[in-house]
Amino acid sequence: MALVPNPVVNEGPLFAEVEMGGDSSSSTVRATVVQASTVFYDTPATLDKAERLLAEAASYGAQLVVFPEAFIGGYPRGSTFGVSIGNRTDKGKEEFRKYHSSAIDVPGPEVDRLAAMAGKYKVYLVMGIIERDGYTLYCTVLFFDSQGHYLGKHRKIMPTALERIIWGFGDGSTIPVYDTPVGKIGAAICWENRMPLLRTAMYAKGIEIYCAPTADAREVWQASMTHIALEGGCFVLSANQFCRRKDYPPPPEYVFSGTEEDLTPDSVVCAGGSVIISPSGAVLAGPNYDGEALISADLDLGEIVRAKFDFDVVGHYARPEILSLIVKDHPVSPVSFTSTSSTSKTESSST
């Protein structure tokens, strides 16, 4: 059975696309950011929803589609996981077990399905997930090409505040920028976008389409996105979830700490604010605070060259003899074993 049903007469789309057209005389890339909520604690249903949204974006001509932070696996907004200094509750530990169960392995069957979706709809896909690596979770972005190939991942290098209780820390080996036919694509997640050295590393890799999946719906987030577009001379695509209280399990299974008593099922707990910004700092589409939406724009890649003429932060506007950056981009593991190589050498010498 097809996961995305064939069109039905008089049946409208999941929700309306919000867009602004580009200059048809320029070389453009059609980009879409998805503003939608996870089906919390239900990864198969979330994958089904992702495919419906991807199909709809592709029907509008999208070549690149960016999903929010933690779309697969969920952003556990409002939860404390029963943590206080010196104590973790049994209920909080059970919440983490359920959250861990909703995460996905990389590689794994869910990654294979996402790759197949990208290939089926012929789009480049940037997907926010919760990655499960043994018993540690990471807030991660996965990249796929339009031929259905998994390209790689970026793990969030610095979770924010209580996120550090539930997510591990990425290292310098997963800060990729992929050179694709639609542009050089990379991503930073939520508040790590406010880390100047991380941004500089991505600029040095030549990023042109800067994806910023986030969970920050505050108006001040827009200032950060505009600054990055201007600073990097790149397009910025920020995707956030739009969630109401009813998009999460009801209490007592799931509790929004400190605010639960003030919420109704229809209360907005994350207002979105997804946006697409040009290298000149112009808002091309969004920000949208109205509900779930597909937010699209045509990216004129010539804008990158025009912006870099004014300001190239790692080129003609750099002063490496005064200021420079070293990025430790090798994988870091807490445990290394030498016995395997030693055993091989011993066996070779004895034969």
Active site residues: 69
Tokens matching residue 191: 């508040």
Give the strand pairing for 235-238 and 209-211. Answer: parallel
> 3-state SS string over the chain?
CCCCCCCCCCCCCCCCEEEECCCCCCCEEEEEEEECCCCCCCHHHHHHHHHHHHHHHHHCCCCEEECCCCCECCCCCCCCCCEECCEECHHHHHHHHHHHHHCECCCCHHHHHHHHHHHHHCCEEEEEEEEEECCEEEEEEEEECCCCCEEEEEECCCCCCCHHHHECCCCHHHCCEEEECCEEEEECCHHHHHCHHHHHHHHHCCCCEEECCECCCCCHHHHHHHHHHHHHCCEEEECECEEEHHHCCCCCCCCCCCCHHHCCCCCEEEECCEEEECCCCCEEEEEECCCCEEEEEEEECHHHHHHHHHCCCCCCCCCCCCCCCCCCCCCCCCCCCCHHHHHHHHHHHHC
Q: What phi, psi does 56 have (nearest 5°)?
A: -70, -40
Q: Would you state the torsion angle of the CA atoms of residues 163, 249, 273, 151, taken in this order, to the nearest 10 degrees?
A: 60
- 290: number of Cβ within 10 Å: 13
Contact 331, 173 (CB under 8 A): yes
- 86: number of Cβ within 10 Å: 5
**CA 31/CA 274 separation, integer angstroms:** 13
